[in-house]
Amino acid sequence: MTRAFPSVPASDPPLDPHQPWVFGYGSLMWRPGFAFVERTPAQLAGFSRDMCLTSIHYRGTAEAPGMVCGLSPGGVCRGVAFRVAPEALADVIAYLDRRELISYIYLPRHLPVTLADGRRVVARTYVPDATHAQFVGGWSDAEKARHIAQGVGSEGSSLDYLANIVAHLRELDIADARLESLLAQARAARA
């Protein structure tokens, strides 16, 4: 029996059916995997980017888990918003659910984001389920770095994944001292 993907909470606002948006803060920033009609820097209030999830598929295995990015409560997360064509929305959501909900660690949410030009829109994003066994937001950076250094899965290494996030944040002129430090620690642990 196939497990159903989690639903967006009823308390979340709906997406605009005429201009639906998706917010990316990790690999979606550089590899969305879907067609879009607009791409712009954006920020999500109330959450901060964090390497807070062990990965047993894409960036690690059950025997040697890696790490992937999620959101931890508090702060502001700067990333990228993508506007998709209304007629493509169902296919985009189906694709993202298959990609992001592989181990049911994320919860799909519709949250307000602020675009670079000041517009406020509701965007679909994926927020970690803090009760999931793979959520490790409380780990020390040293423990995270060790897992980032060891993790290799079907989509490559955790170290390359984190390096890509840091590189794309730099391209967007987003400073993230914590991820920069974590990348340096993970490279040292790998060496």
Contact assessment for residue 141 and residue 84, using Cβ atoms and an 8 Å cutoff: no
Query: Of 63, 87, 100, 180, which residue is the catalytic one?
Result: 100
Contact in structure between 72 and 44 (CB atoms under 8 Å): no
Instruction: Let me know if 100 is a catalytic residue.
Output: yes
Pairing assessment for the beta strands 106-115 and 120-128 based on DSSP bridges:
antiparallel
Question: Hey, what are 83's tokens?
Answer: 């506007």
Are 123 and 81 contacting, i.e. CB atoms less than 8 angstroms apart? yes
| Cα–Cα distance, 77 to 70 (Å, whole number) | 10
16, 122 Cβ separation under 8 angstroms = yes
Q: What share of the chain is helix, strand, coil (3-state, %, to 5)?
A: 30, 35, 35
The residues carrying an active-site annotation are 100
